[in-house]
Amino acid sequence: MPIQYYLFLSLALFCIGIMGTLMRRNAIIVFMCIELMLNAVNLLMVAFSKMYNDASAQIFVFFIMVVAAAEVAVGLAVIVMMYRKVHSVDINILNRLKH
Amino acid sequence: MSTYEILFWFLTVMALSCALGVILSRNPVNSVLFLIATFFAISGHYVLMNAQFLAIVNIIVYAGAIMVLFLFVIMLMNLNADTEPQKNRLVQFAGVISGGALFLVVLAALRTSSVNVLEQSPTDIGLIKNLGKTLFTQFVLPFEISSVLFLSAMIGAVVIGKKEEAVSEIKN
Amino acid sequence: MTNLVWLVPLFPLIGFLINGIGWRKMPKGAGGVIGSLAILASFAVSLGIFFEVKSSGTSTVVHLFDFIQSGKLYIPFAFQVDALSSLFLLIINGIGFLIHVYSTSYMHDDEGMVKYFAYLNLFVFSMLLLVLGANYLIMFIGWEGVGLCSYLLIGFWFKNRDYTNAAKKAFVMNRIGDLGFLVGMLLILFNYGTLSYNEFFGQLNGGTVQLSPNMYNWIAICLFIGAMGKSAQIPLYTWLPDAMAGPTPVSALIHAATMVTAGIYMIARSNALYSLAPMALNLVAVIGLATAILAASIAIRQYDIKKVLAYSTVSQLGFMFLALGVGAYTTAVFHVMTHAFFKALMFLGSGSVIHAMGGEQDIRSMGGLGKKMKITSITFLIGCLAIAGIPGFSGFFSKDEILAATYAHSPIMYYLALGAALMTAFYMFRLYFLTFTGSFRGTHDQEHHLHESPAAMTIPLIVLAIMSVIGGYVGLPAVISEHHTFNTYLASVVTNFGHHHLEHSTEWMLMGLSTGLVIIMIIVAYNATKKPNFKPNTGLAKVLENKWYVDELYDTIIVRPLLALSSAFDRFVEKMGIDGVVNGVGKTVRWGSDRVRLLQTGQVGFYIFIMVIGMTLLFTISFFWVQ
């Protein structure tokens, strides 16, 4: 397969992820779309690693997964705490950044 | 079409449609399930490219751990389709437009690039032995530091997630 | 000694610095002593320089340092020591010293006494610079300096609004004249490339640069405008009577003996130029004569003792300019000297009277002071005799020379000048009789307070009185002696213009005529003041009392329109225009920031949206625009 196919596939997944973060108001769904974006990048990296026959790209994917896992842990803790405060996961309620 | 191509297209369609399902479904539990399916499709792509280690790790870590965590949280909050807040139409529209615009721009930029064709013969770099070698020789420092990262994430999660009274005690 | 001429202005400068810096801490007496000693030291050096110049008869330029050097323009800081400047040095330092001594007693109740002496020293320093300068720029520096000190000293009692207004008036009118002076200087510089006297006058006589005759006139007239302001001639004279708001010794020093004579010094110094500008000379003579007559007429009906003396000064200055205008430069300088003696004497005498009257200055409340204040009364009488022109006193010789020169120039002007001289005699003796003779018209308390002034005040009076008598003998007229000491002394610097050779018989006749008429005027004055009757004035007397309403005229024509213009500027240009623009910028920024603030919604989704847009734009730019 020419690399362009993987390129466009990854791009499409990434843009779908972006649309998701912009369209949804549920904080958890937004988070999941972010994970989707990360995975799109992973896919692209692996494709390039195959193209250039270089292993470091796959190692990088490995680290991306590491970071994603840590991020999910902390992020979900934050969401849970937020739910405890306002009993909702609507991101429109979180507008303290305005000040 | 060779088997490879058929598999490729099948996995592509599955990935895209499940991704769309993630963002379009109203029930958050459905979104999680769609996302898991997407991960499976992507892992299939990894297998196609002979990145075996990553395929397995993707399933175990992402689909197995992270998504389960998401499901736990959703269950905890008892979210379902009726309580789902919806953004107003204008914002949704704007989101679609902007995402689409980005897609088109990058597409146009990469359209004329001349890149190689992927080798179809399987390569060895995705094998766990080779990956391991690279990981523990070239990238050993990030590897060790990632353990520190995990430690901090764990501590952070525990601290943030504690109950109200305990948190305010720590604050005082 | 000539090389040490820089010491002469240095002593007063040091006195100014010491008094000026330490005036809050120093005891009052110390300020007076320092100030007076500085002037005394200057006087000693001036005396040495005077004798040196008198015996050698040469002019020397003492170069101190290069002042301005820019391109082709070269102006050194140099002093010119010659007959004219050394004479003025003596006058300034001598009379200055006497007035300093007088002030130690007159001002000893005042809190700002040390500050006063600092100002006085600064004034003397500036005046010395003025007369010592070897080029017009140094003279101008001194010119401005004396204007400044005049302002500082007139408004010395600054808590009184009227006094500070008078100071402002003096300064502003001076400034108007200074503009003319500057234009004149620039014309000289432009045409001759130099401001130094020797070079400029040398070129005038040698004639390397030939200008149209009109240019000489223009330069001369411009310089004369400066003299108009400084020496209080029409139309810039109204500041001098108001300047009487300052302490009396200040009036004596600045507005009688020194500063107001700066204009005459300047024209005498530039006599080479004026001799080439007959039209300017005519203008000078006419204005001088008109001023003399106008001021004398006003003095006839003034009731403030200092105002009478002020108008008298203006009138006498008019005489001096008249002398300059008919080409008798040395005569004008002669009259400067004699006038300095008797006018300073009379001002100091009036100070003594005011001191005794506890601050009262209105002569309608005085009378019969001669009994209680013998020294003041006698010295004042000597001053009056001198100014009236009684033979034997200094004023006779100098005034008579002026009248003679005028007669040789134009008989009509002579008769007008004679009329002014007669008015001088009348108002001066009216003042004397009303103040010192007759019976006292003041309050009982004032009568008890009357006493002769202390020695520090009376001794200068006596010295000046002596000088008023003998000071004239250096300038004996041709009919009496062929040897005119004064003129020969100044001949190296000043060349009189025009030929004023009158027949000896004509001169005797003129002298006799003026003396006789003056004596008649004195008798008229005595009769007018025997039984004083101070009804409110009507008709011509009222006009005279109100100074011909000149001040009111200036106010309507000049002051009010300027004030209206300035307030119009304030409303339209300042408030609406400039403030509008400056505040408008602020308001626009505020308005803009209010709008931009709305971007901060605090919603994460919105932020991400903007991020995506930004990313898209960046991609577009980097892929499609950058080559």
| Residues C64-97 pLDDT 10s | 888 888 887 888 888 888 888 888 999 999 999 9
Residue A21 contacts C where some CB pair is shorter than 8 Å: yes
| C neighbours by CB contacts (3+ pairs under 8 Å) | A, B
Region C25-54: what's the mean pLDDT?
Answer: 87
The CA-CA-CA angle for residues B101, B105, B111, to 5°, reads: 140
C538/A42 Cα distance (integer angstroms): 114
Task: Pick the residue of C607, C619, C621, C625 with the most B CBs within 10 A to test the interface with B by mutation.
Answer: C619
Cβ neighbours around C543 below 10 Å, total: 15
Cβ(C519)–Cβ(C385) below 8 Å: no
Closest approach of B113 to chain C, Cα-based (Å): 11
pTM for this structure?
0.68
Contacts of C453-456 with CB under 8 Å at 24 or more apart are C453/C105, C453/C352, C453/C355, C453/C356, C453/C373, C453/C375, C453/C376, C454/C105, C455/C105, C456/C101, C456/C102, C456/C104, C456/C105
Residues 49-78 of A with CB under 8 A from C: none
Cα atoms in the Cβ-side hemisphere of radius 13 Å centred on C536: 0
Task: Tell whether the model's pLDDT for residue B170 goes beyond 60.
Answer: no
Cβ–Cβ below 8 Å for A97 and C608: no
pLDDT interval class at B45 (50, 70, 90): very high
C166/C254 Cα distance (integer angstroms): 15
CA nearest to A2 within chain B: B117
Kindly give the interhelix angle for C394-409 and C411-436, rounded to the nearest 10 degrees.
160
pLDDT (tens digit per residue) in B65-99: 999 999 999 888 877 665 555 667 777 888 888 88
C293/C299 Cα distance (integer angstroms): 10
- Both tokens of residue C51? 């004798």
Distance of CA C567 to the CA centre of its chain: 32
**Eight-class DSSP state of C4:** G
Cβ–Cβ below 8 Å for B109 and C616: no
pLDDT score, position C614: 87
Which residues of chain C are within 8 Å of residue B105 when distances are taken between CB atoms?
616, 619-620, 623
Which residues of chain A are within 8 Å of residue C609 when distances are taken between CB atoms?
22
pLDDT (tens digit per residue) in C274-302: 888 888 888 999 999 999 999 999 988 88
pLDDT interval class at C196 (50, 70, 90): confident
Residues 68-127 of B with CB under 8 A from C: 87, 91, 94-95, 98-99, 101-102, 105-106, 108-109
Task: Pick the residue of B49, B76, B119, B129 with the most A CBs within 10 A to test the interface with A by mutation.
Answer: B49
pLDDT interval class at B107 (50, 70, 90): confident
pLDDT (tens digit per residue) in C539-570: 777 788 888 888 888 888 888 888 899 888 88
As a whole-number percent, the residues of chain C with pLDDT over 70 amount to 96
Map C367-400 to HEC letters: CCCCCCCHHHHHHHHHHHHHHHCCCCCHHHHHHH
Cβ neighbours around C561 below 10 Å, total: 10
3 state DSSP class of B79: coil
Kindly give the interhelix angle for C262-269 and C113-132, rounded to the nearest 10 degrees.
10
CA distances from A30 to A24, A80, B39, B68, C143 (A): 6, 14, 17, 16, 85
CA nearest to C616 within chain A: A15
As a whole-number percent, the residues of chain B with pLDDT over 70 amount to 82
| B neighbours by CB contacts (3+ pairs under 8 Å) | A, C
Residue C610 contacts B where some CB pair is shorter than 8 Å: no
Q: Report which of C298, C367, C308, C378 is spatially closest to residue C343, judged by C-alpha positions.
A: C308
Cα atoms in the Cβ-side hemisphere of radius 13 Å centred on C610: 8
Cβ–Cβ below 8 Å for C602 and A25: no
> Chain-wide mean pLDDT for chain C?
85
- Both tokens of residue C473? 């003998």
3 state DSSP class of C304: strand
Cβ(C102)–Cβ(C268) below 8 Å: no
Distance of CA C58 to the CA centre of its chain: 29
pLDDT interval class at A63 (50, 70, 90): very high
pLDDT (tens digit per residue) in C365-392: 888 888 888 888 899 999 999 998 888 8
A47/B110 Cα distance (integer angstroms): 15
pLDDT score, position A60: 92
Cβ(C178)–Cβ(C143) below 8 Å: yes
Cβ neighbours around C352 below 10 Å, total: 28
User: What is the extent of the structural domain holding A77?
Assistant: 3-98
> Which residues, including other chains, have CB under 8 Å from residue C229's CB and lie 6 or more apart?
C173, C174, C175, C176, C177, C178, C180, C236
Residue C613 contacts B where some CB pair is shorter than 8 Å: yes
CA distances from C179 to A73, C173, C222 (A): 86, 10, 8
Please name the member of C613, C619, C623 whose beta carbon is closest to the beta carbon of B98. Answer: C613
- Both tokens of residue C417? 């000048």
pLDDT (tens digit per residue) in C427-481: 999 899 888 887 787 777 777 777 788 888 888 888 888 888 888 777 666 666 6
The total domain count for chain A is 1
- Both tokens of residue C353? 């009277």
C3/C87 Cα distance (integer angstroms): 17
Phi, psi dihedral angles at C159 (to 5 degrees): -75, -15
pLDDT score, position B42: 95
Please name the member of C609, C623, C624 whose beta carbon is closest to the beta carbon of B94. Answer: C609
Which residues of chain A are within 8 Å of residue C600 when distances are taken between CB atoms?
97-98
User: Which residues on neighbouring strands pair with residue C304, listed in sequence order?
Assistant: C362
CA distances from C516 to B167, C293, C511, C519 (A): 119, 20, 9, 5
Q: Output the DSSP codes for C536-558.
A: PP-HHHHHHHTGGGHHHHHIIII
Task: Tell whether the model's pLDDT for residue A92 goes beyond 90.
Answer: no
Cβ–Cβ below 8 Å for A95 and C612: no
pLDDT (tens digit per residue) in C146-180: 999 989 999 898 888 888 888 988 898 889 999 99
Task: Tell whether the model's pLDDT for residue C270 goes beyond 70.
Answer: yes
Q: Report which of C535, C468, C478 is spatially closest to residue C503, judged by C-alpha positions.
A: C478
CATH code of the domain covering residue A39: 1.10.287.3510
Quick one: which H or E segment has residue C78? strand C73-81
Cβ–Cβ below 8 Å for C612 and B99: yes
C167/A16 Cα distance (integer angstroms): 85
In chain B, the N- to C-terminal Cα span, in Å, equals 68
User: Which residues on neighbouring strands pair with residue C386, listed in sequence order?
Assistant: none
Inter-chain Cβ pairs, chain A and chain C, closer than 8 A: 30
C605/B167 Cα distance (integer angstroms): 28
Closest approach of B84 to chain C, Cα-based (Å): 16
Distance of CA B68 to the CA centre of its chain: 13
pLDDT (tens digit per residue) in C333-366: 889 889 999 899 999 999 988 888 888 888 888 8
Task: Tell whether the model's pLDDT for residue C491 goes beyond 70.
Answer: yes
Task: Tell whether the model's pLDDT for residue C483 goes beyond 90.
Answer: no
